[in-house]
Amino acid sequence: MKKIKVLVVDDSAFMRKALREILESDPQIEVVDTARNGKEALDKVAQLKPDVVTLDINMPVMDGKEALKLIMETNPLPVVIVSSLTTDEAPITMELLDLGAFDYVPKPSGTISLDIHKVAEEIVAKVKEAYRARHRISSRKPSPRALKTSFQPTKRGLAEYIVAIGISTGGPATLIDILQDCEVDEETAYLVVQHMPPQFTPSLAKRLSEYTPIDFFHASHGQAVLGGHGYLAPGGWHMKVTPDKKIKLFKDDSYIYYPSVDVLFDSVAEVYCPNAVGVLLTGIGRDGAEGLLKMKQRGCITIAESEETAVVYGMPAAAKEIGAAMEILPAYRIASAIKRHIRRIKERSGGRV
């Protein structure tokens, strides 16, 4: 059986050795070499042609951000970020995900994590998922990004219509690609759950505000759901919408993911259907499939991303399997579908079109 060839990139000799041991503990993985910085990584990617790269961010000579840009331009392949989650590094990691990094694994205790074994299982799993997605990674071209130059007025009433989106692995870039082509109107709000640690979600909310026409909040408990705005669930908290159209954040150990897409979709089904659109995008596992089915059963429009564009065809596949998705579309057709369905829902219910 062909082994997955991995290049490990980290400026710490300890981390390079530890990551090699973790990865090669799996019989399906072979670490073909290591690199101490981004420049070495570029040379070894061209020479060795690995299947997957694990990449640190802060390194001398050439950092992870510059290395990733050049890898994706010259030899696009799956890159898993393995780095610390400091306040400074979280925004940079968000940029790397937007540039095409497959996923990230946080080092448990900083740049040189003596306890890296705590995330050994996650590292191996994400390298394997990255390998399975390698053909989609190599063919994907990042969409052009433009900073928003003007912001919408902030005085809005409570949202009458909802677009609810759930997403996981491969999410930030896909999310921005879709939302940058969506419309803002004073009656519709966007509610988003992205599987992501708490250190990252403030940076993602900021990027969504900067690169899409929608003004996004990093959602807070008790916040009113206003038309014309977006609300991103904070990492580590479940987010639902209450009957009085406010955000409720809470903990519940019965769910695998924090935040859970199913929690959001279930609440939208209860409060907003049929005046809502549910969208389930790329990601590992089954989170969101049952919630999307509930939205469909309550009369909402439901959409799942197709295998053609999903970086990881897990969550959308689960929705398709149980018949939860009314439409199965590639990512590049989802924004136009959202706009079309919101207009039809408004026409039906007497809203402003």
Q: With cut-offs at 50, 70 and 90, classify the pLDDT of residue 257.
A: confident
Mean pLDDT of 116-137: 88
Q: With cut-offs at 50, 70 and 90, classify the pLDDT of residue 132.
A: confident
Q: With cut-offs at 50, 70 and 90, classify the pLDDT of residue 194.
A: very high
pTM of the entire predicted model: 0.84
> Which residues are catalytically annotated?
168, 195, 287
Q: With cut-offs at 50, 70 and 90, classify the pLDDT of residue 172.
A: confident
Predicted confidence at residue 109, as pLDDT, reads: 73
Predicted confidence at residue 275, as pLDDT, reads: 97
Q: Where are the alpha helices (DSSP H) in the chain?
A: 13-24, 38-48, 64-74, 89-99, 120-132, 134-139, 171-179, 201-211, 261-271, 289-297, 315-321, 334-349
Assess whether the region 4-139 and the region 161-349 belong to the same CATH fold.
yes
Predicted confidence at residue 100, as pLDDT, reads: 86
Q: In what order do the strands lie in the sheet with 52-55?
A: 29-35, 4-9, 52-55, 79-83, 103-106
Predicted confidence at residue 143, as pLDDT, reads: 56
Q: Where are the domains of the chain?
A: 4-139, 161-349
Alpha-carbon distance of 207 to 90, in angstroms, equals: 12
The CATH code that applies to domain 161-349 is 3.40.50.180
Q: Would you say residue 49 has pLDDT above 90?
A: yes
Q: Would you say residue 190 has pLDDT above 60?
A: yes
Ranked by mean pLDDT, which of 85-89, 128-132, 334-338 comes out on top? 334-338
Fold adopted by 4-139: Rossmann fold (3.40.50)
- Higher model confidence: residue 176 or residue 111? 176
